[in-house]
Structure 1
Amino acid sequence: MSDCQAYDRAPWSDQYEHPIEPDQVVAGYDSLPDLIREASQAYCDKIAFTTCMPNGMNGSLRYSEVEEMSDAFAVYLREELGLEAGTRVAVQMPNCLSFPIAAFGTLKAGCVLVNTNPLYTGPEMRHQFNDSGAEVVVILDMFMDKLESVIKETPVKHVVVCSLAQWFPPIVRGIMKGVLRWWNRAIPDHNLKATSIHRAVEVGRRRLNEDSISVADYSSGIRLEDGAVLQYTGGTTGVSKGALLSHGNLLVNMRQLDLISQDYAEPGKDCVVTALPMYHIFAFTVNLLLFYHHGGRNVLVPSPRPIQNCQRAIENYPVNWITGVNTLYNALLNEEWFNVYPPKTMKVALAGGTALHQSVAERWEQVVGCPIAEGYGLTESSPLLCFNPISRTRQDSIGIPAPGTQVRIVDEEGQCVTPGEAGELIAKGPQIMQGYWNRPEETEKTLRDGWLYTGDVAAMDEDGFFRIVDRKKDMILVSGFNVYPNEVEECLAQVDKVHESAVVGLTDEKSGEVPWAFVVKRDESLTEQELAAHCKENLAGYKRPKRFIFRDELPKTPVGKVLRKELRAEIEDGSKAATAKTKNKTAA
C-alpha cells in the first residue's frame, strides 16, 4: 500500500464527534440568496446585527429589515444602475450595519461581490478595481478621498457611500456624524458624485413597489458553480489576486461547519462577537453567513484596535461565540477588564488565520473557561479545510479535515510522506475555489489535478490530526537545517514578560540565513539576555535568534497576521543603507 493510499483511508474519520456520511456534505440550497431569504423569514423578528462603538453607542437591524433593505438594494443595482448578472460590485467598509445590506443585496442581484479592504491605499484600490472590473463601489465615507484619487483610472462607474452611523437611532446618528466629521476630522471632503446607501435603498424600494419586481428572479438562474464572491489574497506575499468562490463553494463550506458544530449551535439564540473584519473570508463565511443562517445575533466591532474597542461589545451583550486570531486572543488576555470580568456566557472560541500559540490557548481556558478550537483554511478554500473537534481540542494542532475533504502531506515531488513527517499540505474538496480571476497560469500552479497546494508545511499524526509547521516561504534555512518561525515564536511566548514576537530569517555569510526575533514587551524590565538564556535552554543552537529587537508593536494585516516580510525588509533595507554609507565614506 502506498503512502497516499494510507492517507486516503482517512484515519481521521473516527475522530468526528458524530458519524458523517458523504451525502450529508451538500450545498442544501440552490444559491446564497435562497439561504439568506429563508433565514430572514424564519427569524424575521429577531435582531440580526448590532454595531457597537467603543463608547457603547449602538445601532441594530432585525432580520426583517435586513431582508427588505437588501432586496431594495438589489433592485437599485439592477433597475436603477442597469447592472447585468455577473457584474462585479466592490464593497469597501469595516464591520457596520451597511455591510450586510450591500453584500446581501449584491448577491440577490445576481452580481459578484468583491470584498475590499477599507484600509487599502489608492494604488491598492486601483489594482483591485481594475483586476476585478468592478463597476460599482459601495464605500465608507471615511475613505472617499482615496477613491477620488484613483477612480478615473478604474472601470468604476457608480459610487454608493455609507457611514458608520448608518441606520443608528436618529439622535445617536447625529452625534456620531458630528464627532466623526468635526471633532475627529475622520470624514474627508471630496468632489465625487455619489449616492448615499440610504438613498439607494429608498430608490430600490420605490421601484420594487411601483414596478412589481420579483427580486428572486434575479438569482433564479444561478448555478452552484457560478461565482458569488471575488476574495482577494496574496497581498502580503506578492500581487493580490482574486480567488473566485462560487455559491456552491460557500454553501458547502457552511454545511461542513454546520456538521462539526451541531452540538454547540443554538439556532435563534446564539450571539457572536465579530471583531475580525467581514471583508476577510474567515469572518465572511463564519460570522456573516453561518450565523445569519442560524438566526444568530452578530455584534459588530468596526475596529478591534486598540483592543479596548471590544470591551463594550463583550460586556454589554450575552455573547457566547467569538472568532479571532492568536493576536486578538492574546491582546484580550492582557487586558485587566477582560481578566477581572471575563464573559460568563462564552461557550466556544474559534481561532484561525494564523498559528494559535499554546500558551495563549491555555491562558484563555483558564480565564474564560471555554476552549479555543483552532481551525485551518485559506481564502482559496472558502475558507475551512481542517478543524479541531470542539469537545476534545488538541493544542498545537489544526485538527482533522472538514467533512468531505481530502488532505495529504507531500514532498517536493508531490509524493505523500509518512505520518509524522513534514511536507506541504494539499487538499481537495467541494469548498475549493473555481480559480484565480483572469489568472490561468497562477491557477495552474495552485490547483493541480483538483488538489489545492497550500504552501503550508504540515505533518499528520497516526490519528489523522494535522499540525502546521510553518509557511514554506517563511521557513528559515540555517546551514541546511529547517527553522520554522512558529516554533521559535512559541518558545518566546513562554516568557511571561513577552507580549508577542515575530521571527524572520536574514541572510548570513556563514550559514545562509539566521533567525532574528522582533519582540514586544509586556514588562519593560525584559532584556535580551533573558530571552537568549530562555532560548538556549529550549531550542537547538541553529534555531536560536541571532538578535532580539524590541519594538512597541509589530506590523499586522487588518486580520491580525504579523507581516514578517515588512520586518525582514526593514532590516535588509537598513543593511543596504549602512553598506552604501560605508562605501561613500571609503570613496571620499
Structure 2
Amino acid sequence: MQGVAAGLVALGLTRGDHLMVVLQNRLEMATLHWACQFLGVVMTPLNWRANAEEVDYCALDAGARAVVVEPCSEAAVAAVAASSIASRLPRIAVGAAAGTLCFDELCTAAPRAAIVRADSADLSLMLYTSGTTGKPKGVPCRHRAERAAALGHVAQNLYRRGERTLGVMPLYHTMGVRSLLAMALVDGVFVCMPRFDSAQAFRHIQDERITSLYLVPTLYHDMLAWRDCHGADVSSVKKLGFAGAPMPEALLRRLVEAFSPELFVNHYGSSEVFTFAYSQDASRKLGSAGRAGINARIRVIPHDARVPGEPAAALEEGQIICDLAGEEAFEAYCNRPDADAKAIRAGWYFTGDTGYIDHDGDLFVTGRVDDMIISGGENISPMDIESVLSLHPAVDEVAVAGLPDERWGQRVVAFVKARAEATAEQLDAHCRASSLLAFKRPRDYVFVREIPRSPVGKILRRKLVTGEYDAVEPGRATPV
C-alpha cells in the first residue's frame, strides 16, 4: 500500500486531489482506497458499468487528476469525447487494460518513509449517487465522518475481532466501503468478489468460513433461489445484515429459516448519512427499521412541512429527516446548490423517504416521496402492497407503481415476477383476504420476466411507468 501511495505522489497527485477509480471489487481497488486515505487524496469511485457520458460528467464534476481502469471499464473511459477532461487524464491500468501506466508500475515507487498526510478534516471519499432521476450527485465525506460511520457499523452489527465478510457490495457504494472499513477496524477479512454469482458466493462462504453477510435484499433472494436447487453449507454465517432497499416479509422469513442467524440487522441509511436507523432483530417487528443510529437523530414530520418542525404524531405517516449535526453526516453535495436546497434545510437532511414512528418509538419506512401513489385523492405506499403480495406462494418478486388514470389520477398496478403459475384473479383474492385496505388493492396485474432494478438492487419504478419491461403471458411461471 505504501508503494501505491508513493506511486500516486510520483504521478503528481497531492492532498485534496481526486482519484477517479472505475474498478470492480478487487485487491487493487481496496489497496487504492487505503493509499488515498494516507495521502489525503480523495477516493472517487464510479460504477464500473458507467458509460462514457457518466465518466465524462463525473471527471469534470470532481476535477479528477487521474483515472484507474480495468478491461470491463476501459471502453467507456476510452470513448469519452477527445475534448473532455477525462480524455486527458493519466490512465492507470489494472489487469490487461491499456493505460498511461500499469498498476504494477505504480507500485515500484518505493517510499522513503511512511506517507501520512491526511487529517480528520480532509475529504476522504466522494461517492456518486445512482442518478436515477438526473445527473449523479457527488457526496463528499470527511475522514472523521468515515471513521464514525465505520465504528458505528462495527457496533451496530456486533462485529468481533477476526470477523469475516463477503466483499460483494461494490466499493463505489456506501455499503461496500463500510464493510471494507469495518473489517479493517476489527482485524477481519474482506473477501473480494468482483461480480456477484450465487454459486461463487456460497463457495466463498464455505471455503473462507464467512461469519457475516451485509447485502441488499436482491442478492439474498438470488442466493436462496440457488441454494434451493443446489444446497450449500452456511453454518459459519452467524450474522446477517441488509440495507439499500426494503426486504419483503416472505424473503425475511426464508432467510431466518435458512441461516438461523444470531443477529439479523436491518440497516437504514444513505450515502449522505450512513446510518439513519437500525434494528438488530429484523424479524422481531417485521418491517421496522428500528431506532436512530448511534451517531444519528431522526424525526418524522408532516408530508407538507417544508422545514423541520414539530414531529408527526405516532403512526402518522410523513417525511423522514435526519439531523446533520451527527458525526456520520456529509455537509453538502459537490457543485450542486440545487440539490442542497432541496435536501438540506435548517441543518436537517430531508431523506426523500416517507415513514412513521410507532408507539414504541420504532421507525417504519413506507417508501419514497416520489414513489407515493395518489389515487382518488388517497396517498398509497407501494411498499404496503408489495409486502402483502410477496407472501403469496406463487410470487417471486413484485413491484407496485402508479400509472396515469383519467378518472383516479393514478391507478395501482402490480408488476409480478412469478415462481409458479398464478393469475390476476388469484392475486386479487389474496389481497382481499389480507388486511390491505380496499382502495390500496392493485387494479391491474402485469406479469414480467424481471423487475427492473439498479446495480445495487433498488426497484426502478420509473421504468415500470414508462413501459421498460419484458411482459410474459399471465398465469404462467416466469421463464428462468
- TM (norm. structure 1) is 0.75
Residue 194 of structure 1 is matched in structure 2 by 100
Contact 2:412 2:440 in 1 (8 A): yes
The AA in structure 1 aligned to 2:409 is G
Structural mapping, 1:193-342, within 5 Å: 193-202=99-108, 204-205=109-110, 208=111, 212-216=112-116, 218-219=117-118, 222=119, 224-261=120-157, 264-267=158-161, 269-285=162-178, 287-305=179-197, 307-336=198-227, 340-342=231-233
Q: Secondary structure at the match of 1:503?
A: strand
Instruction: Give, in whole Å, the separation in 1 of the partners of 2:143 and 2:378.
Output: 43
The alpha carbon displacement at 1:90 in A equals 0.8
Matches within 5 A, 1:466-505: 466-505=363-402
Q: 2:85 aligns with which of 132, 139, 154?
A: 154
Find the counterpart in structure 1 of residue 7 from structure 2.
Answer: 76
1:104 corresponding residue in structure 2: 34
Partner of 1:94: 24
User: 1:17 aligns to what?
Assistant: none
User: Aligned equivalents of 1:340 and 1:225: distance in 2?
Assistant: 48
The one-letter code of the counterpart of 1:518 is F
In the TM superposition, what is the alpha-carbon distance from 1:391 to its structure 2 partner? 9.3
Give the counterpart letter for 1:127 in structure 2. Y
Count of matched residue pairs: 460
* Distance of aligned partners of 1:509 and 1:291 in 2 relative to their CA distance in 1, 3 Å threshold: same
Separation in 2 of the partners of 1:438 and 1:451?
A: 19
- Identify the residue that residue 32 of structure 1 maps to in structure 2: none
Q: Is the 8 A contact 1:106 1:112 kept in 2?
A: yes
- SS of the residue corresponding to residue 570 of structure 1 reads coil
What secondary structure does 1:549 align onto?
Answer: strand
Q: CA deviation at 1:215?
A: 0.6
Q: Distance in 1 between matches of 2:81 and 2:146?
A: 30
Amino acid at match of 1:503: V
* C-alpha separation in 2, matches of 1:296 and 1:320: 10
SS at match of 2:131: coil
Equivalent-residue separation in structure 2 for 1:308 and 1:356 (angstroms): 22
Determine the structure 1 residue equivalent to 2:49.
Answer: 119
Q: Which residue of 2 aligns with 1:529?
A: 425
> Quick check: 1:478–1:512 contact (8 Å CA) kept in 2?
yes
1:405 pairs with 2:299: no
Residue number in structure 1 paired with 2:412 = 515
The superposition leaves residues 391-418 of structure 1 with CA deviations (integer Å, 9 ceiling, x where unpaired) of 9853211111112321110112243111
Residues 277-336 of structure 1: CA deviation (Å, up to 9, x unaligned): 121011211x1111111111112221115x334232223221110011111112222223
Q: Distance in 2 between matches of 1:408 and 1:154?
A: 42
Whose helix proportion is higher, 1 or 2? 1
Q: Which runs of 5+ in 1 are unaligned?
A: 1-69, 164-176, 178-186, 575-588
Q: Is the 8 A contact 1:339 1:367 kept in 2?
A: no
Instruction: Give the whole-Å Cα distance in 1 for the aligned partners of 2:339 and 2:63.
Output: 18
**SS across alignment from 1:373:** strand
With a CA cutoff of 8 Å and minimum separation of 6, indicate the structure with the bigger relative contact order: 1
Task: Give the one of 543, 560, 564 matched to 2:461.
Answer: 564
Task: Give the 3-state SS of the residue equivalent to 1:335 in structure 2.
Answer: helix
State the 1:441 CA deviation: 3.2
Assess if the C-alpha contact under 8 Å between 1:333 and 1:339 holds in 2: no
What CA deviation, in whole Å up to 9, does each residue of 1:375-403 have, x standing for no partner?
Answer: 1001101x122111359853211111112
Pick closer, same or farther for the CA change 1:214–1:329 going to 2, 3 Å. closer
Helix, strand or coil at the partner of 2:64: coil
CA 1:534–1:392 in 2, change beyond 3 Å: closer, same or farther? closer
Native 8 Å contact 1:507 1:513 kept in 2: yes
2: distance between equivalents of 1:271 and 1:404?
A: 24
Question: Which amino acid is the alignment partner of residue 239 of structure 1?
Answer: K
1:216-261: CA deviation from partner (whole Å, max 9, x where unpaired) = 2x22xx2x33211111115112221101111111111122223334
Q: Does 1:459 align with 2:356?
A: yes
Secondary structure in 2 aligned to 1:419? coil
Q: Does 1:360 align with 2:251?
A: yes
User: Distance between the aligned counterparts of 2:43 and 2:419, measured in 1?
Assistant: 41
Checking the alignment, whether the CA contact within 8 Å between 2:22 and 2:48 is kept in structure 1 is yes
For the pair shown, the structure with the greater C-alpha radius of gyration is 1
Task: Give the equivalent residue in structure 2 for 1:419.
Answer: 314
> 1:515-540: per-residue Cα shift (whole Å, max 9, x none)?
212211212x2222222221232233
Aligned letter for 1:154?
I
CA contact (8 A) 2:165 2:213 kept: yes
Q: What residue ranges of structure 2 are gaps of 5+ in the alignment?
A: 472-480
Q: In structure 1, what residue type is equivalent to 2:425?
A: Q
Deviation of 1:347 (Å): 1.0
Q: Any conservation in 1 of the 2:398–2:415 contact (CA below 8 Å)?
A: yes
Distance (whole Å) between structure 2 residues aligned to residue 338 and residue 108 of structure 1: 46
